Structure 1
Amino acid sequence: MGAINSTDKRLVNEVFDKIPAVDRNAVQEMLKNELANLNKKIIVLDDDPTGVQTVHNISVYTDWSVDSIEKGFGEQNAMFFILTNSRGFTSAETEKAHKEIAENVLEVAKKHGKDFIIISRGDSTLRGHYPLETEVLKETIESGSNTKFDGEVIIPFFKEGGRFTVDNIHYVQYEDYLVPAGETEFAKDRTFGYTKSHLGEWAEEKSDGEFKAENATYISLESLRALEVEKITNQLLEVSDFNKVVVNAVDYVDVEIFVISLIKAMKAGKHFMFRSAAALTKVIGGVSERGLLTREELIKEDSEHGGLIIVGSHVKKTTEQLEELKKCDFIEFIEFNVHLVLHPEEFKAETDRVIETSENLIRSGKSVAIYTKRERMDLGEGKKEEELKLSVQISDAVTSIVQRLNVRPKFIVAKGGITSSDIGTKGLEVKRATVAGQIKPGIPVWFTGEESKFPGISYIIFPGNVGAKTTLKETVELLGK
């Protein structure tokens, strides 16, 4: 990978060995006390279904109707998730959705007389509609209430995926090295690309210079590890004009110390918007630790049928993981030639072939892995819109595999954020799911709701960019033959 030659890469051990330890038990006691008095409903807007990768026993709603938000507010849990899937949206669709969400949340919050926090959960490798999403939320909430936002907290740390922020620079871990995010394949994303790894500069770049790196507030690891709660609280009290708050973090304890200060600042009357990866939600939602899910928890009924694995994501890591998965002799592999989308008749015949073959194999007890052709379709310069339209047709075809399935698989694994979102909402027709926990670090499992096509099935949402080469293979082996 090109980024590994970077002069800015750093050895993981060299960086981490310099960071002082802290008494986590003492921190957690302080955090518990602050959370007990928070008394706000926490609404997490997830731009793809992988954002629940750190939580368990939490509801995910797949629409943002007043009815669904009302149900979320009515739960005992302090926090619930709304899956927007906006990473698969155009800018116009994203804007419309976030305006609707903010308006509906305001309506329900007023009815219940309950204060709330909205967290915009984005990608830990900094892709997504930023700053559009948080700006629309800010403007809509401010125009519909007395709330005025002082600042925006940026915290893309995600330990399970090897994403760390040190000296205000966001890194992605590749084995023994930390590589600045701006030098990875993720930064070259065709839709959400960027060049800066320093988070203040990244926010400046993404906001076209509206917010300057020099005006951001930086919460340092030194300050966090020295437990300078009062100093950090004072830093937050000084934030104004929706300037950015960049939080450095290499472990959950850093987020915990920050949240203690954050709640103190909020109690003093400050209002913040949040753009974060999955770690913040676990901490501010007060979600307890739990071990990885076992096979007994995941496969609840004896089924003679095989499982279904669908691989859509095209990032390099997914392709490497697919190659490892092919070493499993108990799985039948079917390549779905999605490039035939350019020839509608042939594409329909190909989709029918994949579904029919899969159904027969699953019914006979064989697990099936369907994977889209690995080469990306490139129509050439200036054809982004056409490519996007074709990619939607491809996604619809992949989703139709689950929609049209007449046999209930033992389990379903979907690889890739947009793939797993479409299969969950359109293929399985889930309206509300419960996050059971994780099958591997950073890989969440939904138990589907009663209304879904296959109620109570274990649906494994495998992000495109998470895990080692062998993690997909290990996940499927755990689920069994």
Structure 2
Amino acid sequence: MPHPSAPIPVEELLTGLPPVRTVDPTEIAESTATGPRLVVLDDDPTGTQTVADIPVLTGWTIDDLRWGLRQPGGACFVLTNTRSLSFADAAARNREVVDALAAAARAEGVDFVLASRSDSTLRGHYPGETDALADDLERHGRPVDGVVIVPAFPDAGRFTVDSVHWARTAAGMVPAGDTEFARDATFGYRSSDLREWVAEKTGGRVAAEAVLAITLADVRTGGPERVAELLGGVRDRRQVVVDAACDDDLRVLALGLLRAESNGVRLLYRVGPAFVRARTGQAASPPLDGEVLRAYGSGHGLIAVGSHVGLTTSQLAGLRCLGGIEEVELDVPTLLDPAARDAHVAEVAARAAAAMSRCDAVIRTSRALVTGRDADDSLAIARAVSSALVATVAAAVRAHRPGFVVAKGGITASDIATDGLRIRRAITRGTLLPGMVSLWEPVAGESAGIPYVVFPGNVGDEQALAHVVRALRDR
């Protein structure tokens, strides 16, 4: 593994770059209003954290997808949660979605373009997921010319400069390959240069020098015309990595993509959350305020914490300092014992439901991370723990309807939405932190009207969770 780089200030990273080319978001919104719908296959639910008023589906029947395609906004999220699955299961799930989507699009008389939304710190089933999606699209007569990789998420301090992907830490900016995310038990990696990362993740099938790099010079100096020119020559699923250090960079990219696609180039996107806001022509909006949140009523809430990254543990400590909570713990070793699991879940759920009658309840997993023999075994353990957390939340909310639910961690948020609260269709209404942490409004079923907050494990500072809970209390 390369020796870790010393953190640097963000100002140092961004000094000396070409001047930013400003793009009005409405220019993109107008360009996409009558064009293909952007369908975002979200490998966990945190991809919605930069946008507002976009439909979210947790199922993918043809009827569900037709509903999503009919909604305003030019885009639709489909929560596939494939990051929590083995690759074989992820590929099968994506195939189901693409087959149903092709049928729904024909029935609605619309076209679509796919974005495979994944982690801005590069974790997920790449290249397997994009390879499988490209195969699925080709079966439906949509061969892919290029796979455009755009992990940048400026709101969260994730920048790509000279093809190197950077992440903000408390000490400063570090290359992504030097972060704790790169040491993920299932999706770890070494490379920070995205060209080398592609070569690493493909096992050398794609050489680093074969990857097309669209640089900040191309984006800021050449503009959409240069981006479209570069993309006009891609063929045979060529991998393309893109620099971006602010929203305007992503908007320039979006205009270039639209031009290339209008010229017949077929693209598949592998992106972080910020790309979706740029591609749909939305501007960054301020966090939702008390006036908006008061429309959802009041009452003590439930906070479910499944993420194990160090930042989540620090944020949980910040919530304790805020006060007004009662914590109950799911002990992971007990959850992995089939003889003890069900009774433990029932006990913790009952305690959480009782707590909500007097304060906000926190259901959390024990903080010691338990891993398996290999990546697949670690993923299986994560799924077992997540399913127990979901079962606990489901039992608690049946016993006491919460005033709000906050789900901390991507896999956690997905499973609680689909299985704990049984949300099938929702609208994302905005954020509770700038450009991060989305609030969903379930629009049907037993959870309709309960504000559901999707809080990724890897964003915000140590006080972010406390800030979100305080905002929900102050409705």
* TM more than 0.5: yes
1:404 paired residue among 388, 395, 412: 395
1:59 paired residue among 44, 55, 59: 55
SS of match in other structure, 2:453: strand
Alignment of 1:50-449 (within 5 A): 50-145=46-141, 147-175=142-170, 177-303=172-298, 305-363=299-357, 365-378=358-371, 381=373, 385-405=376-396, 406-441=399-434, 442-449=436-443
SS of match in other structure, 2:322: coil
Using the alignment, how far apart are the partners of 1:314 and 1:456 within structure 2? 29
Deviation by residue 1:281-317 (Cα, 9 ceiling, x = unmatched): 11111224422111332243554x4211111100111
Deviation at 1:423, TM superposition (A): 0.7
8 Å CA contact 1:12–1:176 kept in 2: the answer is: no
Deviation at 1:337, TM superposition (A): 1.5
Letter of the 1:395 counterpart: S
Letter of the 2:439 counterpart: V
Gaps of 5+ in 2: none
CA pair 11-301 structure 1, distance change in 2 beyond 3 A: closer
Deviation at 1:461, TM superposition (A): 0.8
Gaps of 5+ in 1: none
Letter of the 1:257 counterpart: V
8 Å CA contact 2:296–2:450 kept in 1: the answer is: no
Name the residue aligned to 1:473.
Answer: 466
Paired residues in the alignment total: 471
Using the alignment, how far apart are the partners of 2:81 and 2:327 within structure 1? 28
Deviation at 1:375, TM superposition (A): 0.3
Deviation by residue 1:325-345 (Cα, 9 ceiling, x = unmatched): 111221112222222124334
CA pair 229-377 structure 1, distance change in 2 beyond 3 A: closer
Deviation at 1:435, TM superposition (A): 0.3
8 Å CA contact 1:158–1:164 kept in 2: the answer is: yes
Using the alignment, how far apart are the partners of 1:232 and 1:388 within structure 2? 38
Deviation at 1:202, TM superposition (A): 0.9
Deviation by residue 1:404-455 (Cα, 9 ceiling, x = unmatched): 131111111110011111111001000101101101121111111221x321
Deviation by residue 1:221-278 (Cα, 9 ceiling, x = unmatched): 1222224332222111111221111110000000111111211111111111100001
Name the residue aligned to 2:449.
Answer: 456
Using the alignment, how far apart are the partners of 1:46 and 1:348 within structure 2? 30
Deviation at 1:161, TM superposition (A): 1.4
Letter of the 2:306 counterpart: G
Deviation at 1:376, TM superposition (A): 1.2
Name the residue aligned to 2:13.
Answer: 15
Aligned-residue identity in percent: 35
SS of match in other structure, 2:449: coil
Deviation at 1:8, TM superposition (A): 5.8
Deviation at 1:23, TM superposition (A): 5.0
Letter of the 2:326 counterpart: E
Deviation by residue 1:101-121 (Cα, 9 ceiling, x = unmatched): 121222222333322100000
8 Å CA contact 1:338–1:347 kept in 2: the answer is: no
In terms of mean alpha carbon deviation, does 468-477 or 79-88 score higher? 468-477
CA pair 352-258 structure 1, distance change in 2 beyond 3 A: same
How does the TM-score come out when normalised to structure 2? 0.94
Using the alignment, how far apart are the partners of 1:141 and 1:301 within structure 2? 40
Aligned alpha-carbon RMSD (Å): 2.1
Using the alignment, how far apart are the partners of 2:315 and 2:429 within structure 1? 24
Show structure 1 runs of 4+ deviating over 6 A: none
CA pair 187-366 structure 1, distance change in 2 beyond 3 A: same
